[in-house]
C-alpha cells in the first residue's frame, strides 16, 4: 500500500471517528448566565440530625437536607396539623415546589393524620412568579368529586405547605389542567390567589 | 515506478522496504484502534438496548432501560409532538386531539381531563423518561386510536389501529350501561349511564317504557333489578332492550339522551288531567316583596360528593331545595327561585348571577359535605371569608361592615364607593350573612338534631358575587355512612327544610324590627350587652 493510500485511509478513519464522536456527544447544558445572584428560596432551616439517607451496609449518603413542614388533616375532624420531615435540599424553587407536593402526596407518618392529596390529583408544574406569587398547575381527574370540607383540606394543605416552606412567597394561584378554574370541586374560589389559610388549622 | 524514482534519489532500497513495513504496522495498529473506538462509539451510540416500534409500516427505534421504554421515542414514533420542560423534566405529549403529561415518578398519568394509573412510576435515566409497558398499552397508544403488542424475543412493539381498522371506521364494541333510580317527588328519574353514545328508540308499552338500542350492542348491568320506588317497580334488560316497569297503571314516561357523560334519562310521572278552562281569570295574586333564591349545589356532570352507598350530592341538594321551596312561603311571604330544578350543570357564577338578576333578598346555597376524615359528621353553615383573599377585598369588607346596614337610618360610610367588583360584591353583606348563618345553624341544631359544627367562613366562589345576604349550608356529611342514610330519607330532608325555613323567617322578622346584630334569638338565652 502506498503512503498516499495509507495516509488517506488514516484520514478517513480519523474523520469517521471524529464524526461518530460528534454524533454521540452529549451536549452539556451551558451554565446559566447569572445576571444577578438568585434569591434564596428556602424558608426552612437545615436539618440537624438524621438528615442523611442511610445506605445498606451502614453507610450514609452525604446529602445536604432541609427540614420542611407539611400540613395534613386529622382523621377525626379533618383539621390541618403540621408535620415536620427532612428532605434532600432541592436544587431550585420549581424543584422545591415539586418535592413538597410529592411529600404531601406521599402522606403523613403520624397515625392520627390522614392523606390529603387524592392520587388522581397530580402537579403538572409549579412556578414562582414576581411579587411572591406561586402558581400551582394541577392535573385533576375530571371524575373526581369533593365535598367542601375535603376541597378545603386539599387546597389549604397545598397552599399552607408551599407558603410555609418556600421563601419570599405570599400567595398561591391554582390552575386546573393548565387553565384558570372557578373551583376545584364546586366550592372554593380559585379565580383569585390564596394566602395562608388559617381557618383550616387545628386549634 | 516509485522504486525507480527512489532509486534515482540514491537512497538505499532497504529504506523503502523499512518504510513500507512501518507503514503497515502503523496501519494495522491504527485499524485495530479504529475498530475498538468504532465499536465503543457504536456501543455508546446505542447507549441502552433498543426496541422497535412498528407503526403504519414504518420501524422506529426506541431506547430501553431496565425493561422500560423511552416515552419520548415511542410518542414521536406514533407522530405525537413532544415537548420537555427543562426544570421539571415533564414531557408534554400532544396529538390526535389529546394531551398527555409524563413526569419522573408519575404513577397516575394525566391524560386530557383524567388520569390513568400505571403499574410503576415513570423513571428518569440520564434525562430520558422510561415507562413500563402498561403506560404504552393503557395511556399512550389509545390516544392514537391504537393498541400495541410487544414481542420480547424480537423486541418489537407492533402498534395497530384499534380493531385493525383506520379511525372513523372502527367497529364499535358493546356499550356498558349502569342504572340509577332516583325519586324526586312527584317524578322518578331512571338514569342509564352509557360508556359510549348510542342511538335509542323509546316506546311506551303496557308494563312501562321500553328502550331499544339501535346501533350498538349493550352490556347490561343485570337481568332485572327491583326498586323500592313509588313509581318504578323494576328495570329489566333483555338483549339490546331495557324496560322500566311501572309500579301501577296510569303512569306515563318519556326518555331523552344526554351527553357528557352519555346517558339516557327516563322520567316517570303520573298523568295529569288537564284542568277545565275557567270561565274567568282569577284576580292576580299579590306579588310577595321578598325574593329568595335557592341554589341546589352541583348538578349534571358535576355530581358533587358521592357517599359510600352511592348517594350523590347533586340529587340530595335538589330534593332538599324542592322541599325548602315548598316550606319557606308558609313561613315568610316570598317568591322562591331555584337556580336549577333539574339535573343540569350550572357554573358557580351563573348561579350568583341569577340571584342578582332576580334582585333576591337572600341567597341560600345547599350542599352535602364530604371529608376524607372518617369521623367528620354534622352540619355547618358558611358565609364568605376574605381572609385568604387579597388586601383590597379585606379593606372593602371592613369598611362595608362597620355600620350595620339593617338598622333604620343607617348610612353606609363608604357611599363614595361607586362600584364594587364582582368578587367583592358580597363584602357589603357579611354582617347580615353571618347573622343568617347563625340563625340557620341554630335551627338545624334544634330541629334536625344534627351535630353542630358551627358557623364558618370560607372563600367560596358561589358566595363571592352575591349582592345580598348569602350563605352556603352543608346539611350533613354524605361521606359518613349514617348521615348518608339520613340525607336520602324524606323525613330528614323535610326536617332540614323546616329548620332552614324557620331560620329564614327569624332573619326577616329581625330585619323588620331592626334588631341589632347580637339581639337574642327568641327562645334562646339573651347574649350579654356589648
Question: What tens digit of pLDDT does each residue of B44-91 get?
Answer: 444 457 899 999 888 999 999 988 999 999 999 999 989 887 767 788
- What is the per-residue pLDDT for B528? 28
Q: Which grid coordinates belong to B506? A: 327569624
- What is the per-residue pLDDT for B324? 96
Residues B212-267: pLDDT tens digits? 887 778 888 888 888 888 899 999 998 888 999 998 887 888 877 776 677 888 88
Over residues A146-153, the mean pLDDT reads: 93
Give backbone dihedrals phi and psi of B439, rounded to 5 degrees, phi first: -65, -45
CB contact under 8 A, A145 and B45: no
Best CA proximity match to B290, nearest among B243, B385, B355, B227: B355
B467 located within any domain: yes
Asked, as a colleague might, if the bond just before A117 is cis with ω within 30 of 0, I would say no
> Which residue is closest to A179 within chain B, CA to CA?
B113
- Check whether B510 has a pLDDT greater than 80: yes
CB contact under 8 A, B371 and A188: no
DSSP-assigned beta bridge partners for residue B38: none
Best CA proximity match to A102, nearest among A84, A80, A81, A117: A117
- In this complex, which of A17, A159, A182 lies closest to B34 when CB atoms are compared? A17
Residue A68, CB-side half-sphere exposure with 13 Å CA sphere: 28
d(CA B122, CA B118): 9
Q: Three-state SS for A175?
A: strand
- What is the per-residue pLDDT for B9? 35
- Check whether B181 has a pLDDT greater than 60: yes
Q: Three-state SS for A22?
A: helix
Cβ pairs A/B, distance under 8 A = 193
- What is the per-residue pLDDT for B26? 52
Chain mean position to CA A174: 14
d(CA B165, CA A85): 54
On whether both B302 and B438 belong to a single domain, the answer is: yes
Best CA proximity match to B374, nearest among B521, B302, B280, B481: B481
Q: Which grid coordinates belong to A42? A: 428556602
**Per-residue confidence band for B530, with pLDDT thresholds at 50, 70 and 90:** very low
E strands of chain A, at which residues?
A: 53-54, 60-61, 65-73, 80-88, 121-129, 133-140, 171-176
Best CA proximity match to A89, nearest among A198, A165, A180: A165
**Greater confidence, A170 or B35?**
A170
d(CA B431, CA B388): 18
Best CA proximity match to B67, nearest among B117, B119, B144, B103: B119
Terminal C-alpha separation, chain A: 91
User: Which of the given ranges, B154-158, B201-205, B322-326, B423-427, has the highest pLDDT on average?
Assistant: B322-326
On whether both B499 and B353 belong to a single domain, the answer is: yes
Residue B501, CB-side half-sphere exposure with 13 Å CA sphere: 22
DSSP string, A130-156: TTTEEEEEEEE-TT----HHHHHHHHH
Best CA proximity match to B352, nearest among A194, A183, A195: A183
d(CA A186, CA B298): 7
- In this complex, which of A73, A119, A185 lies closest to B108 when CB atoms are compared? A119
Residues B346-389: pLDDT tens digits? 999 899 989 998 999 999 999 999 998 888 999 999 999 876 55
CB atoms within 10 A of CB B29: 10
Who's near B242: CB < 8 A, 6+ residues apart? B177, B179, B192, B210, B211, B220, B235, B236
d(CA B170, CA B161): 9
- What is the per-residue pLDDT for B223? 87
**Greater confidence, B505 or B400?**
B505
Asked, as a colleague might, if the bond just before B82 is cis with ω within 30 of 0, I would say no
Share of chain B above pLDDT 70, in %: 74
Mean residue pLDDT of chain B comes to 77
- Contact between B204 and B248 under an 8 Å Cβ cutoff? The reply is no
**Per-residue confidence band for A148, with pLDDT thresholds at 50, 70 and 90:** very high
CB contact under 8 A, A122 and B305: no
Best CA proximity match to B191, nearest among B270, B250, B258: B258
What b/e sequence results for B298-331 when a residue is b if at least 16 CB atoms lie within 10 Å of its CB, and e otherwise? bbebbbbbbbeeebbbbbbbbbbbbbbbebbeeb
Over residues B293-317, the mean pLDDT reads: 93
Would an 8 Å CB–CB cutoff place B347 in contact with chain A?
A: yes
Q: Which of B162, B194, B220 is the last residue of a domain?
A: B162
- What is the per-residue pLDDT for B212? 85
> Which of A38, A134, A148 to probe by mutation at the B interface, max B CB count within 10 Å?
A148
Q: Which grid coordinates belong to A33? A: 448566565
- Contact between B171 and B215 under an 8 Å Cβ cutoff? The reply is no
Mean residue pLDDT of chain A comes to 81
On whether both B319 and B392 belong to a single domain, the answer is: yes
Burial class from Cβ neighbours inside 10 Å (0-12, 13-18, 19+) for residue B85 reads middle
Enter the pTM of the model. Answer: 0.59
Chain mean position to CA A84: 16
On whether both B250 and B295 belong to a single domain, the answer is: no
- What is the per-residue pLDDT for B28? 53
B278 located within any domain: no
Domain with B72, as residue range(s), is 50-162
- Check whether B268 has a pLDDT greater than 50: yes
Would an 8 Å CB–CB cutoff place A9 in contact with chain B?
A: yes
- In this complex, which of A3, A23, A94 lies closest to B23 when CB atoms are compared? A3
d(CA B353, CA B356): 5
On whether both B219 and B113 belong to a single domain, the answer is: no
Over residues B508-526, the mean pLDDT reads: 53
Among B125-129, B177-181, B345-349, B479-483, name the one with the lowest average pLDDT. Answer: B177-181
> Which of B106, B461, B477 to probe by mutation at the A interface, max A CB count within 10 Å?
B461
User: Which of the given ranges, A39-53, A95-109, B441-455, has the highest pLDDT on average?
Assistant: A95-109
Share of chain B above pLDDT 90, in %: 34
CA–CA min distance A60, chain B (Å): 23
Would an 8 Å CB–CB cutoff place A146 in contact with chain B?
A: yes
Sign for the pseudo-dihedral over CA of B71, B76, B78, B82 = positive
**Greater confidence, B272 or B219?**
B219
- In this complex, which of A95, A145, A171 lies closest to B303 when CB atoms are compared? A145
Q: CATH no. for residue B318?
A: 3.40.630.40
Best CA proximity match to B388, nearest among B460, B436, B438: B460
Would an 8 Å CB–CB cutoff place A171 in contact with chain B?
A: yes
- What is the per-residue pLDDT for B221? 85
B117 located within any domain: yes
Element (H, E) at B134: helix B133-134
- What is the per-residue pLDDT for B412? 41
Among B103-107, B187-191, B258-262, B362-366, name the one with the lowest average pLDDT. Answer: B258-262
CB contact under 8 A, A139 and B101: yes
On whether both B135 and B187 belong to a single domain, the answer is: no
**Greater confidence, A185 or B40?**
A185
- Contact between A147 and A155 under an 8 Å Cβ cutoff? The reply is no
Q: CATH no. for residue B62?
A: 3.30.457.10
B128 located within any domain: yes
Residues 18-57 of B with CB under 8 A from A: 19, 23-24, 26-27, 30-31, 34, 37-38, 41-42, 44-45
> Which residue is closest to B47 within chain A, CA to CA?
A24
Would an 8 Å CB–CB cutoff place A135 in contact with chain B?
A: no
CB contact under 8 A, B479 and A150: yes
In B, which residues are within 8 Å of A114 by CB distance?
372-373
d(CA B177, CA B194): 5
B5 located within any domain: no
On whether both B368 and B227 belong to a single domain, the answer is: no
> Which of A79, A120, A149 to probe by mutation at the B interface, max B CB count within 10 Å?
A149
Would an 8 Å CB–CB cutoff place B4 in contact with chain A?
A: no
**Greater confidence, B28 or A189?**
A189
Residues B25-40: pLDDT tens digits? 555 555 545 544 444 4
In B, which residues are within 8 Å of A145 by CB distance?
298, 302-306, 313
- What is the per-residue pLDDT for B282? 53
Chain mean position to CA B356: 26
On whether both B357 and B407 belong to a single domain, the answer is: yes
CB atoms within 10 A of CB B485: 13
B31 located within any domain: no
- Check whether B393 has a pLDDT greater than 80: no
On whether both B248 and B395 belong to a single domain, the answer is: no
- Check whether B171 has a pLDDT greater than 70: no
- Check whether A85 has a pLDDT greater than 80: yes
d(CA B266, CA B257): 9
Would an 8 Å CB–CB cutoff place A180 in contact with chain B?
A: no
- What is the per-residue pLDDT for B3? 35
- Check whether B278 has a pLDDT greater than 60: no
- Contact between B411 and B399 under an 8 Å Cβ cutoff? The reply is no
Would an 8 Å CB–CB cutoff place B17 in contact with chain A?
A: no
- What is the per-residue pLDDT for B203? 81
d(CA B54, CA B51): 10
Q: Which grid coordinates belong to A86? A: 427532612
On whether both B490 and B378 belong to a single domain, the answer is: yes
B81 located within any domain: yes
Over residues B3-15, the mean pLDDT reads: 35
CB contact under 8 A, B114 and A124: no
CB contact under 8 A, A186 and B302: yes
CB contact under 8 A, A141 and B19: no
Output the CA angle A74-A80-A83, nearest 5 degrees: 85
DSSP-assigned beta bridge partners for residue B336: B292
On whether both B375 and B489 belong to a single domain, the answer is: yes
> Which of B373, B424, B425 to probe by mutation at the A interface, max A CB count within 10 Å?
B373
Task: Tally the domains of chain B.
Answer: 3
Over residues A186-191, the mean pLDDT reads: 91
- Check whether A51 has a pLDDT greater than 60: no
CB atoms within 10 A of CB A106: 12
CA–CA min distance B120, chain A (Å): 13
On whether both B494 and B401 belong to a single domain, the answer is: yes
CB contact under 8 A, B45 and A20: yes
- Check whether B280 has a pLDDT greater than 70: no
Q: CATH no. for residue B264?
A: 2.60.40.3500
Pairing of strands B290-296, B362-369: parallel
- In this complex, which of A75, A124, A193 lies closest to B373 when CB atoms are compared? A75
Using CA atoms, how far residue B491 sits from B453, B454, B487, in Å, is 21, 23, 9
In A, which residues are within 8 Å of B387 by CB distance?
195, 197-199
- What is the per-residue pLDDT for B30? 54
Among B230-244, B395-409, B473-487, name the one with the lowest average pLDDT. Answer: B395-409
Amino acid at each position: 500500500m502506498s503512503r498516499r493510500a495509507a495516509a488517506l485511509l488514516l484520514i478517513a478513519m480519523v474523520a469517521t471517528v471524529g464524526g461518530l464522536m460528534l454524533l454521540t456527544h452529549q451536549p452539556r447544558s451551558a451554565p446559566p448566565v447569572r445576571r444577578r445572584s438568585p434569591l434564596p428560596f428556602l424558608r426552612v432551616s437545615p436539618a440537624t440530625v438524621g438528615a442523611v439517607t442511610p445506605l445498606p451496609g451502614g453507610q450514609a449518603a452525604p446529602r445536604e437536607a432541609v427540614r420542611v413542614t407539611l400540613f395534613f388533616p386529622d382523621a377525626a375532624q379533618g383539621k390541618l396539623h403540621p408535620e415536620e420531615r427532612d428532605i434532600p435540599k432541592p436544587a431550585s424553587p420549581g424543584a422545591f415546589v415539586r418535592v413538597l407536593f410529592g411529600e404531601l402526596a406521599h402522606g403523613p407518618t403520624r397515625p392520627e393524620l390522614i392523606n390529603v392529596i387524592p392520587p388522581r390529583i397530580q402537579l403538572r408544574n409549579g412556578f414562582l412568579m414576581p411579587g411572591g406569587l406561586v402558581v400551582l398547575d394541577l392535573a385533576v381527574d375530571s371524575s373526581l368529586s369533593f365535598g367542601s370540607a375535603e376541597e378545603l383540606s386539599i387546597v389549604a394543605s397545598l397552599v399552607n405547605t408551599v407558603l410555609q416552606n418556600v421563601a419570599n412567597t405570599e400567595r398561591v394561584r391554582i390552575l386546573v389542567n393548565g387553565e384558570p378554574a372557578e373551583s376545584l370541586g364546586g366550592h372554593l374560589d380559585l379565580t383569585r390567589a390564596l394566602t395562608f389559610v388559617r381557618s383550616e388549622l387545628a386549634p | 515506478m516509485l522504486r525507480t524514482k527512489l532509486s534515482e534519489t540514491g537512497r538505499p532500497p532497504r529504506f523503502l522496504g523499512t518504510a513500507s513495513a512501518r507503514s503497515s504496522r502503523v496501519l494495522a495498529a491504527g485499524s485495530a484502534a479504529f475498530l475498538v473506538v468504532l465499536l465503543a462509539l457504536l456501543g455508546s451510540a446505542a447507549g441502552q438496548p433498543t426496541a422497535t416500534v412498528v407503526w403504519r409500516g414504518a420501524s422506529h427505534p426506541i431506547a430501553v432501560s431496565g425493561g422500560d421504554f423511552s416515552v419520548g421515542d415511542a410518542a414521536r414514533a406514533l407522530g405525537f409532538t413532544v415537548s420537555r420542560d427543562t426544570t421539571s423534566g415533564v414531557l408534554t405529549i400532544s396529538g390526535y386531539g389529546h394531551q398527555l403529561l409524563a413526569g419522573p415518578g408519575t404513577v397516575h398519568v394525566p391524560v386530557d381531563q383524567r388520569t390513568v394509573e400505571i403499574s410503576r412510576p415513570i423513571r428518569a435515566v440520564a434525562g430520558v423518561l422510561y415507562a413500563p409497558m402498561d403506560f404504552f398499552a393503557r395511556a399512550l397508544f389509545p390516544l392514537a386510536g391504537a393498541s400495541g403488542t410487544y414481542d420480547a424475543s424480537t423486541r418489537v412493539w407492533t402498534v395497530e389501529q384499534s380493531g385493525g381498522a383506520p379511525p372513523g371506521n372502527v367497529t364499535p364494541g358493546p356499550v356498558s350501561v349502569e342504572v340509577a333510580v332516583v325519586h324526586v317527588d312527584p317524578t322518578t328519574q331512571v338514569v342509564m349511564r352509557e360508556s359510549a353514545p348510542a342511538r335509542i328508540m323509546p316506546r311506551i308499552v303496557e308494563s312501562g317504557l321500553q328502550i331499544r338500542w339501535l346501533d350498538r350492542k349493550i352490556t347490561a348491568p343485570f337481568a332485572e333489578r327491583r326498586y323500592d320506588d313509588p313509581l318504578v317497580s323494576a328495570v329489566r334488560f333483555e338483549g339490546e332492550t331495557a324496560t322500566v316497569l311501572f309500579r301501577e297503571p296510569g303512569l306515563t314516561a318519556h326518555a331523552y339522551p344526554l351527553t357528557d357523560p352519555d346517558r339516557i334519562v327516563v322520567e316517570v310521572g303520573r298523568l295529569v288531567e288537564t284542568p277545565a278552562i275557567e270561565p274567568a281569570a282569577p284576580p292576580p295574586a299579590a306579588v310577595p316583596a321578598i325574593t329568595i333564591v335557592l341554589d341546589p349545589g352541583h348538578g349534571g356532570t358535576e355530581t358533587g360528593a358521592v357517599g359510600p352507598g352511592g348517594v350523590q350530592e347533586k340529587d340530595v341538594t335538589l330534593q332538599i331545595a324542592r322541599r325548602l321551596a315548598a316550606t319557606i312561603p308558609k313561613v315568610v311571604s316570598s317568591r322562591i327561585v331555584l337556580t336549577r330544578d333539574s339535573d343540569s350543570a350550572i357554573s358557580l357564577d351563573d348561579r350568583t348571577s341569577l340571584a342578582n338578576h332576580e334582585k333576591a333578598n337572600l341567597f341560600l346555597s345547599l350542599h352535602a359535605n364530604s371529608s376524607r376524615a372518617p369521623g367528620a359528621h354534622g352540619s355547618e353553615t358558611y358565609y364568605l371569608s376574605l381572609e385568604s383573599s387579597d388586601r383590597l377585598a379585606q379593606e372593602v369588607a371592613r369598611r362595608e361592615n362597620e355600620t350595620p346596614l339593617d338598622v333604620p337610618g343607617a348610612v353606609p360610610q363608604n357611599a363614595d364607593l361607586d362600584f364594587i367588583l364582582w368578587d367583592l360584591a358580597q363584602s357589603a353583606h357579611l354582617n347580615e350573612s353571618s347573622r343568617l348563618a347563625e340563625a340557620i345553624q341554630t335551627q338545624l341544631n334544634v330541629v334536625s338534631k344534627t351535630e353542630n359544627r358551627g358557623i364558618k367562613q370560607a372563600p367560596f366562589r358561589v358566595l363571592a358575587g352575591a349582592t345580598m345576604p348569602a350563605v352556603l349550608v352543608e346539611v350533613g356529611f354524605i361521606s359518613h355512612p349514617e348521615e348518608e342514610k339520613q340525607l336520602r330519607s324524606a323525613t330528614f330532608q323535610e326536617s332540614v327544610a323546616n329548620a332552614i325555613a324557620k331560620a329564614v323567617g327569624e332573619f326577616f322578622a329581625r330585619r323588620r324590627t331592626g334588631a341589632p346584630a347580637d339581639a337574642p334569638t327568641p327562645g334562646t338565652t339573651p347574649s350579654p350587652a356589648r
